[in-house]
């Protein structure tokens, strides 16, 4: 079993300590992944510094979840690419259990209540249930779930279910958190609230986050950097630094710097979405 990764002393990206450019927590070099005839990723290059919040956007089907499956240790990339975690080159399988991962669907178990869903990863890791429950109960207020510990997923709102899934991911204390469209199913208001809340908990716990979204505003509002992926096979087309002060206020979305960033990102995404659409049409015609 790997020792838990130390996160407490990590500088928050953008803070004075972080300007010394710490060595990356995660590095991917020339990462490629094919599934039979489908090339999902090709020559992907990316790195994430400790404490950074990196958001990922790109057309549907460009390989974002595939990238996460690799970094979570669930899939091996094709031979030839390089994966480095904490400076050491490794196989994807070595990362299994070393990063916390919230998959695209929240995957709450309907027969487990809030607390027992939240402790799932801790239990799988071997922590005694009573100890895991005690940890989860302490975190409930911060996740806006006080009084709901005994409720089952079908008794919760969409926003609450997402918070339970996020709580599970936070409870599994790892230096790197992967969040795959965690707010995708929420209405705009709940989503905006959840974004602000996530920034608060991120700043408190100082985790490193890789976050997939289809929402460009969300990518800018949350991120220190936004990675725009190309159409499939996915690689990083554009790496945009978001140089906006933190803490970020909701009004920032109308600030000229924000709007400028959004224009740049939308142009890049639109170009790739168009390619993705055209190749889907071409494929349709060929069959
Ligand atoms: N296990 C698998 N077996 C075969 N093909 C797969 C598998 N996983 C993903 N793919 C293919 O790889 C490509 C990328 O899929 P992926 O789920 O990574 O896209 P995505 O960018 O996450 O899309 P979305 O934005 O819709 O979630 C798709 O063409 C998909 O069909
Ligand atoms: Mg996906």
* Farthest CA pair distance, the chain: 58
State yes or no: pLDDT of 273 exceeds 80: yes
131 C-alpha to ligand 2 centroid (Å)? 33
- Of all ligands present, the nearest one to the C-alpha of 180 is 2
Query: Which pLDDT value is given to residue 19?
Result: 54
280 band by pLDDT with thresholds 50, 70 and 90: confident
Ligand 2: centre distance to CA 18 (Å)? 30
Residue range(s) occupied by CATH 3.40.50.300 in the chain: 16-98+174-286
pLDDT at 276: 80
16-98+174-286: which CATH architecture? Answer: 3-Layer(aba) Sandwich (3.40)
For the sheet with 236-241, list strands across it: 99-102, 176-180, 208-212, 53-57, 225-229, 236-241
Which residue CA neighbors atom 20 of ligand 1 most closely?
61
What SS3 string covers 76-135? CCCCCCEEEECCEECCHHHHCCCEEEECCCCCCCCCCCHHHHHCHHHHHCCCCHHHHHHH
**pTM higher than the cut 0.75:** yes
pLDDT tens digit sequence for 76-118 = 999 999 999 999 999 999 999 999 999 888 789 999 999 999 9
Q: Residues 186-239: pLDDT tens digits?
A: 888 888 988 998 999 898 888 899 999 999 999 999 999 999 999 999 999 999
Atom of ligand 1 nearest to the CA of 67: 18
């Amino acid at each position: 079993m790997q020792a838990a990764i130390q996160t407490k002393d990590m500088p928050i990206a953008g803070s004075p300590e972080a300007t010394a450019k710490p060595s990356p927590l995660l590095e991917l070099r020339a990462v490629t992944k094919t599934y039979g005839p489908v090339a999902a990723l090709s020559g992907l290059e990316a790195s994430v510094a400790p404490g950074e919040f990196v958001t990922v956007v790109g057309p549907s089907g460009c390989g974002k979840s595939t990238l996460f499956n690799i970094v979570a240790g669930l899939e091996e990339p094709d031979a030839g690419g390089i994966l480095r975690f904490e400076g050491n080159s490794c196989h994807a399988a070595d990362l299994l259990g070393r990063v916390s991962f919230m998959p695209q669907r929240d995957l709450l178990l309907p027969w487990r209540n809030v607390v027992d869903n939240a402790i799932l990863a801790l239990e799988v890791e071997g922590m005694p249930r009573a100890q895991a429950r005690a940890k989860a109960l302490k975190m409930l207020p911060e996740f806006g779930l006080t009084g709901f510990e005994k409720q089952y997923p079908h008794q919760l709102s969409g926003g609450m279910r997402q918070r339970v899934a996020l709580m599970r991911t936070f409870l599994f204390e790892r230096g790197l958190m992967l969040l795959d469209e965690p707010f995708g199913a929420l209405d705009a208001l709940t989503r905006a609230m959840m974004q602000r809340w996530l920034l608060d908990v991120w700043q408190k716990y100082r985790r490193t986050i890789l976050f997939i979204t289809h929402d460009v505003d969300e990518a800018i509002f949350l991120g220190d950097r936004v990675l725009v992926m190309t159409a499939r096979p996915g690689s990083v087309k554009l790496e945009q630094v978001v140089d906006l002060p933190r803490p970020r206020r909701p009004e920032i979305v109308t600030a000229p710097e924000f709007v400028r960033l959004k224009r740049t990102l939308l142009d890049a995404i639109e170009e790739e979405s168009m390619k993705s659409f055209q190749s889907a049409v071409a494929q349709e015609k060929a069959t």
